[in-house]
Structure 1
Amino acid sequence: MNRSRFLTLAVSALAALGVAAPASASAAPYCGITWGSQPEVAGRADPGDDLVQDVRAGRHECFDRIVVDVAEVSGFDSWSVRYVTSVREDGSGTVVPLRGGADLQVTLGAVAHDDRGHPTYTPADRREVVDVGGYRTLRQVAWLGSFEGHTGLGIGTRARLPFRAFVLEGSSAGVDRLVIDVAHRW
């Protein structure tokens, strides 16, 4: 048997046994997503006086999205998004159970009431802030409250998946948007 035929048979046999080299490290990531699952933080999640105005969700081809509208009072620049073992309400620390395999806790340096105590945003249902039924990744969005210059959301996801968080700077109306995208898969 000649040498090249032997090498061809040996490589074929190893591949059939699953002993072949691992997939190329240069394989393209899912949808080009290079995010991770580590905390995303801007500022130190300091208390703020910017005003939460709305929370909504959207579906995209490669990820599900949560958007929080924040009216700027003094410059919205403080927020935190991280996976936690259990989401807790602001102030009381009460655990808020969420549907899904993983929980994201979102803390904004913004409030959901003006300086007179009038609400700027009040969800109709604290446990179902937005309807995410039928979404591929999101399972639940819960309101954690607005307390001492912070507002919190809990996001239940299907599993601990890559996410990104960023702010889209204000429109002409001075409303910034905190955007949280959670990928459908790794």
Structure 2
Amino acid sequence: MRRWGTALAAMALAGGALAAATTAGTAGAATQTAAKTATTCENGWGSGEKKAQPEEHTPLGNIRTGRHACYDRIVFDVKGATAADPVGYHVGYVDALHQDGSGEKIPVHGDAILDIRVSAPSYDPASGAESYPGRAGKPLRGVDVSGYQTFRDTRFGASVEGDTQVGLGVRERLPFRVFQTDGHVVVDVAHSAKAAS
């Protein structure tokens, strides 16, 4: 009888320890989930046009996108660009995307369209060799924005007189920012009209 009592007491202690460990694990997971949903996004980007003095630069190398907690991002890779030798750009919302040069309308999916122009041609001005394989009216090669919270579509516009034009379809007219780092022009579009980070 004493053996049964000892065995039952040991099982009760083990069960209590298991319950405590499970509760601690659940509490830890809940804390991590709360931390993820409590991401703070700063305000103040605005949705007005943004530009930097247009200066033609070395050819455009690539265009790529990425998803972040508070915004979706599109990056234009321009080799050799630095803070001392920046790339010109002009970014703003338009009612419709019209191709530079021809003026032809290019359909872009989304409830709002950002017309992005970067002062880096998609070809080498000296040789005429293509540096970025953009085709007018076609989606950007290698870029898939399905599943993005803000981005809906990308379309290559043109590369005329040293500028490359891209149409970016977004969910709605949302705040955005433009900045440069060495070798890159970056455009971030917020997930929310109230907050961006």
TM-score (ref. length: structure 1): 0.75
Whether 1:87 and 2:100 are equivalent positions in the alignment is no
CA offset at residue 127 of structure 1?
A: 2.2
Conservation of the 8 A alpha-carbon contact between 2:106 and 2:137: no
Q: Are the structure 2 counterparts of residues 116 and 73 from structure 1 closer, same or farther at C-alpha, using a change threshold of 3 Å?
A: farther
Unaligned 5+ residue runs, structure 1?
A: 1-29, 170-175
TM-score (ref. length: structure 2): 0.71
CA offset at residue 126 of structure 1?
A: 5.1
Unaligned 5+ residue runs, structure 2?
A: 1-39
Where in structure 1 do 4 or more consecutive aligned residues deviate above 4 Å? none
Match of 2:157 in 1: 144
Q: Identity, % of aligned pairs?
A: 38
CA distance in structure 2 between the partners assigned to 1:53 and 1:76 by the alignment? 15
CA distance in structure 1 between the partners assigned to 2:146 and 2:137 by the alignment? 16
CA offset at residue 147 of structure 1?
A: 1.0
Conservation of the 8 A alpha-carbon contact between 2:135 and 2:156: no
RMSD between superposed Cα atoms in Å: 1.9
Larger radius of gyration: 2
Match of 2:21 in 1: none
CA offset at residue 98 of structure 1?
A: 0.7
CA distance in structure 2 between the partners assigned to 1:131 and 1:161 by the alignment? 20
Deviations along 1:68-114, one digit per CA (max 9) or x if unpaired, are 10123793431111001111112111111111110000111111111
Whether 1:177 and 2:187 are equivalent positions in the alignment is no
Q: Are the structure 2 counterparts of residues 103 and 126 from structure 1 closer, same or farther at C-alpha, using a change threshold of 3 Å?
A: same
Structure in which a larger fraction of residues adopt helix? 2
Deviations along 1:21-60, one digit per CA (max 9) or x if unpaired, are xxxxxxxxx61132100011000x35x1421000000000
Conservation of the 8 A alpha-carbon contact between 1:98 and 1:154: yes
Match of 1:5 in 2: none
Partner of residue 55 from structure 1, selected from 63, 83, 88? 63
Structure in which a larger fraction of residues adopt strand? 1
Conservation of the 8 A alpha-carbon contact between 1:112 and 1:151: yes
CA distance in structure 2 between the partners assigned to 1:125 and 1:85 by the alignment? 18
CA distance in structure 2 between the partners assigned to 1:101 and 1:64 by the alignment? 16
Deviations along 1:1-25, one digit per CA (max 9) or x if unpaired, are xxxxxxxxxxxxxxxxxxxxxxxxx
Q: Are the structure 2 counterparts of residues 116 and 156 from structure 1 closer, same or farther at C-alpha, using a change threshold of 3 Å?
A: same
CA distance in structure 1 between the partners assigned to 2:134 and 2:146 by the alignment? 17
Match of 1:119 in 2: 130
CA distance in structure 2 between the partners assigned to 1:60 and 1:120 by the alignment? 28
Q: Which amino acid aligns with 1:166?
A: F
